[in-house]
Structures are given as C-alpha cells and as structure tokens.
Structure 1
Amino acid sequence: MTNPKSSNDRGTIAGSGKPNASVPNRREAIRSGTALSAALGTAALGSGAITPGMLHAASSSDDPNRVIRIGIVGVGGRGTGALNDSLSINDNVRLVAMADLQQENCERARTILSKRHGEKIDVKDDRIHIGLDAYKKVLEDPEVDLVILATSPGFRPYHIAEAVAAGKHVFAEKPSCVDPAGYRICTKAHDEAVKQGTSIVTGTQYRRQVNYVEAIKRIHDGEIGDIVSATTRYCSGGIWYKNRKEGVSDTQYQLNNWMHFIWLSGDQITEQAVHNIDAINWVMGSAPETAYGSGGRFTRPADSEMWDNVAIDYTYPGNRVCSFMCRQIPGTKGDNGNIIYGTKGIAYIDAMSGGSRFTDRNGKETWSMKGSIADAYRQEHKDLVDSIRSGKPIVELRTTAESSLTAVMGRMAAYTGQLVDWDFVTEKSSLDLFPKDLDWNGDRPEPSFAIPGVTKLT
C-alpha cells in the first residue's frame, strides 16, 4: 500500500505552468542571496541582526488567541493536504499567501479550501505568487507568521534556510534533503532556528502517530529485550510518470515530472521510503554507521533516472543490522512496515493505519494498539501552531535531516556498489545535486541512471 503522503500526491512547486518571465538563474540567486548566507551563519543572523519577519514571528506568543497567518510554497496535492490538516485542527489560523509555478494550482486550492474553511482563507489575488522565485514573496511578506514548504524535495534545504533567515516558523515536508550538501544546509538552519526561537516541524507524521509513539516507547523501555536486528519494507506498485508536452524546455519538463529526476526527488528511497527509514532511526536511537546494498531498474521509462528497487543493509551502533527494501514495480506484492527483533520478543509496526503489536519469541501476542495516520497528519500541525502560541518552539529539522541523509547514504551505496559510512556522507562527500544553472527556459543534461561499478562515490 502506498503512503498517501508519498510522491503520488505531494504538493510541488515543480509544475508545468507559466511562471514570471523574469525568473533568474536559481542556483546563483540562492547561493548568493543574503537570506541564505544569513541562515548559514555568515550574515545577518550570525551577527544578531533582527529582521521584520523575525519580530512578527516572535510576537506570535504574545496572545494565545492571536491569529496565526500562514503562507504556503508548493500548492499541489500534498501542499493542499497539509493546509487542510492545519486549517482543520487549528483555531484562529488563516491562509494569506501562496506560491507555486502554476497559477491554476493556487486558484484551485483557494477555491476548494474556501468552501471547506470559509473565513480561514484570506488570500487576495496580489498574494498569489507564481514562478521559481515566487517563494521569496511569501517569505518577504511581513504578515506571514508560518510558512508551509511543500515543493519537490530538491528545493527544500534552500527554502528552509531562507525561511529561517526571514524569521518565519516553518512546516517542512519530508525529505529534508536529497544530498549531503543539502543536509549541511539543514543542520545549520536548525541551529539558527534554535538561536532565534522559531519553530521547524517536519512532515514525519509517524512520530506523532499514537501506535508508533507507544510501540517505540515500549521498545526503548525494554519490553522486547535488547534490539538484535530489524527489517523495513516500502514495496508498492508503479508510480506516476508525465509525458513531455510539446514546446516545453528541459527544465519545465523535469520540474513537472520531478519524481523521475534525482536532483529533485532523490529517488524513491529518499522521497518515499524515508518514512520507514526515519522510524528505524527512531527505534535504534541514531543514524546507522554504514550502508551496503544494491538494486536496479527494469520497468522505468527511458528518460527516468529512478531505479525500480533498492535493498540496503544498514548497520547501527552495537552491530545491529536493519535489512531495508523499497520497490515500485507494477504487478508485485506490496509490503509496507517495520519489524524489530529483540531478545525477548518481536515488534511489528505497520505503516499507514495498520497498528502495532508485540509478540513473544514463540509468536504469542503480548500487546497491540491501533493508530490513525489521518490523526497524525493533523497532529503535527497542531503541535506546530501550539508551539508558536506558547513561545516554546519545536525545532526538529536535524532529526529529519539525519533520516533523509540515511536514505541518501543508502542510495549512494546502491548506486556505486560501495560500502558507505556516516562519516563520509556527513563530513567528506562533495555530492551536490542542485543545478548551478537552473533556468526556466533552459536546457538540462541528458537524463542518465546510476550503474554500480561505473558511478563513482563522491
């Protein structure tokens, strides 16, 4: 079964609409912008400067009933879903600004959400922003307290860093990054958010799903004994693919078909299966020390860079091994969940709303609990808004960035056929997938896919 928060319905700024004609070179704009420099500790925030956005965000806790004004970047299915969750569970919140590549995404979402939430939707036409740089308009808006970032993942670290530098509270969808360069940006942004007192909650809903929380607490309390090993699977059928439309540039096509290009999605292990990898990191209490694995492609379209399947052995401290597998192949049997083997028993933590159960080593059930993924989706947004109002910010970006990098480490191991360790990906790897010359009307290199033994570890 496919997680509804997966690539099938993720909100994305990577659309096929017609953004502003004056879109600049994104990589140069991102890397030379003072906002990102500030988030990386080299400009305003590092010197203690206070921006108007920071003052506005900080004032959110002055009145527990004060309206929290939301802006969103990436108004596709997942972005709209995140908005609906926040507006449904929170009182005194209001959507005031939107950014996407497609005008129709914003207008459709505004119409649908207005019917559901009435006066909570207050987006004037001049607060709908279209284009690769449209997110900047949301971050510059002094009325926006909280920004939801739901674009294709390749943009995520840069958008997070600039949102933190603008003093905004953040809800950032998973994954946090698709390469080691993005991970380092995220960890610095995490530290800056802690320093300035703004929240970052991430789209790892299982960490707020009651059966996950209780099961993992019981594991940590020793109910199944010492953890020996684990397995986790995210195996499903095929996934969407969008044929190229006539007259679009390479950039426009890749942004519209973003799941199939590694700089945008990080492949299925990073974009989709990161949920299960995050759960195993949570169970084990840390990121793994090494990753070794393989995989391949059999059914992908010719210009897709994705693999069909990846299988990784992750070794955690204490020589505890997690056998991980993800797969997207039509006609195959699905499997989505986690099994943790202990010296006294076995824990089964199913994905979605499958619930959790423990057995002893002979298979007799000793505990079980149901859980609702829909409730977990909403809870992450309630926790975020509550943290803003209370003046007790939640900053959880580093944890999600570590889980995202764990997925990246596994992908790097499979793509290259090498054993990859945590020290390499955090400290030594130079892998940086974001294009240096991204232009809305520009060309992109010919798509290619990784071949173990040929693809180099960098």
Structure 2
Amino acid sequence: MESEQQKFHGQGRREFVKQTSLIAGGLLAMPILSKANFFSGSSDVIKVALIGCGGRGTGAATQALSTKENVQLVAMADAFADRLNDSYNNIKEAMEERKQINRINVPESNKFVGFEGYKQAIALADVVILTTPPGFRPIHFEEAVRQGKHVFMEKPVATDPAGIKKVLDAAAIAKQKKLNVVVGLQRRYQNSYRELYKRAQDGIIGDILSVQVWWNQGALWVKPRKPEYTEMEYQMRNWYYFNWLCGDHIVEQHIHNIDVGNWFKGTTPVSAGGMGGRAVRTGKDTGEIFDHHYVEYRYADGVVMNSQCRHWKDAPSKVDEEIVGTKGRIYCDRAQIVDHKGKVLYQFDKKNENNPYQTEHDELFAAIAKGQFKFSDAQRSAETTLSAIIGRLATYSGQVINWDTALNSGLNLQPQRYAFDAPPPVMPDASGNYAYAKPGITKYFT
C-alpha cells in the first residue's frame, strides 16, 4: 500500500512502539518508568502488533524488527486476509535474510482479519504499529492509548477535522500515561534536515520571509474492480482515491513538505486559500480526489507558505522545500544554505546522511527499552495534518479556510459503520462515476 514516497533515495518505510498504564475508576494510573515493569511480561522482549498490513505496514514492521532492541512481532491485523498473509510472508523473508527469524512469533491465532481485529491485536502487544489507510487512524490510535500502548503511526493521522479532534484528545491522554508516540513524518528524523533546522534556529538565514514546498510527481496505482467486490471493499482496495480513507494526496503525501514548513516556521498557518482540480485524472477509477492543488498558507505574522502538489504523468517531478529568510535561503533537498548573492554558507555532507525511516524506529525502541518517555509526536502531527486538510478544503471550495473554523466544525467524512456490507460515505452514480468537489460551488462553512 506504499502510495507515498516509496523510497528515501532508494529506501522504504517505518515502525513503532510500547505499553504501560491502566484506567482505574476513570482515573489514570500513571506508570512507573523503570525497565522492571515497563513491559507487559517478565522478559525484556518488546512485543509488537502490526495494524494495517499493506506495503507501508510491511516496511514499518521490518524496520521495527531491525532495531538493536529485543523486539518481537506477536500479532497482526488487517481488513483483508490476503494482505495480512502477503505481509507476513514478506516480513518473514526479510528477517530470514537478516538471520533474525526468531523475531517473528505470530501464530495463526494472533492473525486478525476484519474491521474489529485491531482491538485484539493491540491487547497482545507492548508497542503498536498503525499503518492502515489514514481514515482509520483516529479510532486505532484512540484504542491503543486506551489500552496503554506505545505507538508508531503513519502520517497523516486523520482525514477530517472530527478525526483531528479525536487524535488531539488521545494525544493528551498519551502524554499523561507517558506513552511514547512517534509519527512517520520522517524528515524530522533525517540528519540533513536536523542540521539545516539547527542552523536556521541559530539565525543563519535571519527571519523567515517565505516558504515554498512541493510534491509533484507522476500517476499512481489503480486496482481494478472485481465482480465480487462490494462498494466498501472496492473503495478499501483503492483507498487512495477516496477522501474518507485517504484525505487526497495533499493530505496523504504533501503533508511531508507542509510539515517541514511548519517545523522551520515554528507554528501552523491560520488560513489557507488556493485552487485545484481534476485536469488529467478524470476517470471513474480515480474516485473523487483532485490531481493538482496549489495553496497559499498564511501564518499569523503574515508570512506565506506557497504549496503545490500534483499527479501528472510525464510532467517534471519535484519533491522539495525552500525556506527564504532576510539573510539567505535553505534548499532542503540539496541540504544547502546560501546567502542572497549565492555564496554557500553551509553544505551538509551527504556521506553523513541516514535512513530516517529506520532512525524513527531505532530512536523509539531505544527509548522504550531504557524505560524513557521521549517521544510525543501526536499533537504536532495532528496540527500538521489539519494544515493539509484546510488546504484541501480551500482548493475544493475555492474559499479561504480558517484554521479555527475548520478545527471546530465537526466535519466528519467517516461511514456510520465499518463493514463490507455497509455503504461508504460516497457512492458512484448509475454510470459508475463519483461526484467530486467543484471550486466556487462546493461549500463547507458559511
């Protein structure tokens, strides 16, 4: 299910981690963070459950099992048996190559298929990896926190404002319980970005004047409809093209670049306005999402972040960020800082680059093994996700969308129930086409 950046200069994705406290009488019983009682059993094995067994989850589980810590995969859950079995076999093959097959201990009784299996899988683990389509992230994260587990979850963390609220509430409880939470916005775990950020904080480019961010690439996968599919299964198999599951590619992919802008700026935008549409991806097999977005994000101090993302076949690709300051600018992809005359002020040595997808797991599991509470990514990741969501709402409606209005709107894209015989929130017409937003006509808030 790797719809996203399937490589980091040729590499894969990520993972996550662990358990502690209980809810007793409605009060949080705070955990004691010593190694002796940090895990659920008497051994020092960190037990991992994988929730969401597509390509992304497979990569994340493999990376979690590749850390230096004593990690073991003990449970898996997915809506589809075929995906779960393929994932299990791929993880097994990867660990056999590493001569670490003992890190997989998933009996058939610990493989859960369907919409509700995640609850049982979470109960068996210390650390939960959440890598389903992002529409499910809020309820899965909420359950993991309720059960007192550490979490690695992929970005984005929701597809609508109601989901963002749910994640923010669970994030606050996770902090109270001292549960480590890492989110797969991996640039924050990448050596070059960390070094660029340090120098920006030291004032090398002065005050930030503007930010430019891009995720422009070619077309993505489509899975053909089969006669036996219900509409729910078809949309689940093609989750990328439906907003209740994916959030559109501005949310699912471009969130990485938007996160860099927010990170360097040190805040989130107060509004978004822009334009977008379906110029070349117009078929019934590509659901309801746009193929291009351009958004002007405005921060409270007036600084603008210009954001563009698109999926156009045979058009130039660009995935990058540029931060412009009073004294110079940062080119993130080349890991370079220059002044306004072009003089190089700093150049990161690419020989010192890391695989940030692996680093996410290395740092997370090391903290858990030591009984440390170090990672609390959920709140800022929810805020970055909402930044991407207001961009989508702006391009879909053609209106300027205010951050606070969207956050408090209660807008919810999710179905009334999760079941293969249930109707999804959006249904095709008699010709098999899906309705999609039309700027200037589609309205969200008055």
Q: TM-score w.r.t. structure 2 length?
A: 0.88
Alignment match, 2:74: 96
Alignment match, 2:356: 376
> Conserved in 2, the CA contact under 8 Å of 1:71 and 1:138?
yes
Q: 1:452 Cα shift?
A: 1.1
Amino acid in structure 1 at the alignment position of 2:199: R
- SS across alignment from 1:129: strand
Q: TM-score w.r.t. structure 1 length?
A: 0.86
Identity %: 36
Structure 1 residues 271 and 57: alpha-carbon distance in aligned structure 2, compared to 1, 3 A threshold: farther
- SS across alignment from 1:453: coil
> Conserved in 1, the CA contact under 8 Å of 2:152 and 2:183?
yes
> Conserved in 2, the CA contact under 8 Å of 1:418 and 1:457?
no
Match of 2:45 among 38, 50, 67: 67
Distance 2:24 2:187 in 1: 32
> Conserved in 2, the CA contact under 8 Å of 1:56 and 1:145?
no
Moved more, 144-153 or 393-402: 393-402
Amino acid in structure 1 at the alignment position of 2:336: R
- SS across alignment from 2:219: coil
Distance 2:25 2:414 in 1: 25
Alignment match, 1:282: 263
Distance 2:130 2:354 in 1: 19
Match of 1:268 among 249, 255, 260: 249
Match of 1:302 among 274, 279, 284: 284
Q: 1:44 Cα shift?
A: 4.6
> Conserved in 2, the CA contact under 8 Å of 1:291 and 1:312?
yes
Q: 1:10 Cα shift?
A: 8.3
Amino acid in structure 2 at the alignment position of 1:448: A
- SS across alignment from 2:66: helix
Distance 1:214 1:10 in 2: 22
Alignment match, 1:4: 6
Name structure 1 gaps, 5 residues minimum: 12-38
> Conserved in 1, the CA contact under 8 Å of 2:213 and 2:306?
yes
- SS across alignment from 1:228: strand
Name structure 2 gaps, 5 residues minimum: 15-20, 429-433
Q: 1:108 Cα shift?
A: 2.7
Match of 1:158 among 131, 139, 147: 139
Alignment match, 2:415: 435
- SS across alignment from 2:220: coil
Q: 1:76 Cα shift?
A: 1.0
Superposed CA deviations along residues 92-114 of structure 1, whole A, max 9, x for unmatched, are: 10000000122232223323323
Alignment match, 1:392: 372
Higher helix share: 1
- SS across alignment from 1:386: helix
Distance 1:46 1:229 in 2: 50
Superposed CA deviations along residues 349-396 of structure 1, whole A, max 9, x for unmatched, are: 01xxxx410111011222111458862101111121122223222211
Superposed CA deviations along residues 5-51 of structure 1, whole A, max 9, x for unmatched, are: 69xx989xxxxxxxxxxxxxxxxxxxxxxxxxxx9xxx957821559
Structure 1 residues 425 and 46: alpha-carbon distance in aligned structure 2, compared to 1, 3 A threshold: farther
Match of 1:360 among 339, 356, 360: 339
Q: 1:298 Cα shift?
A: 1.9
Distance 2:293 2:255 in 1: 12
Distance 2:239 2:259 in 1: 23
Pairing 1:86–2:88 present: no
Distance 1:72 1:57 in 2: 23
Alignment match, 1:402: 383
- SS across alignment from 1:136: helix
> Conserved in 2, the CA contact under 8 Å of 1:10 and 1:150?
no
Superposed CA deviations along residues 394-446 of structure 1, whole A, max 9, x for unmatched, are: 2110010100000001111111111111211223x121011113321233323
Q: 1:284 Cα shift?
A: 0.5
| RMSD (Å) for aligned C-alpha atoms | 2.7
- SS across alignment from 1:263: coil
Match of 1:451 among 438, 441, 445: 438
Q: 1:328 Cα shift?
A: 0.4
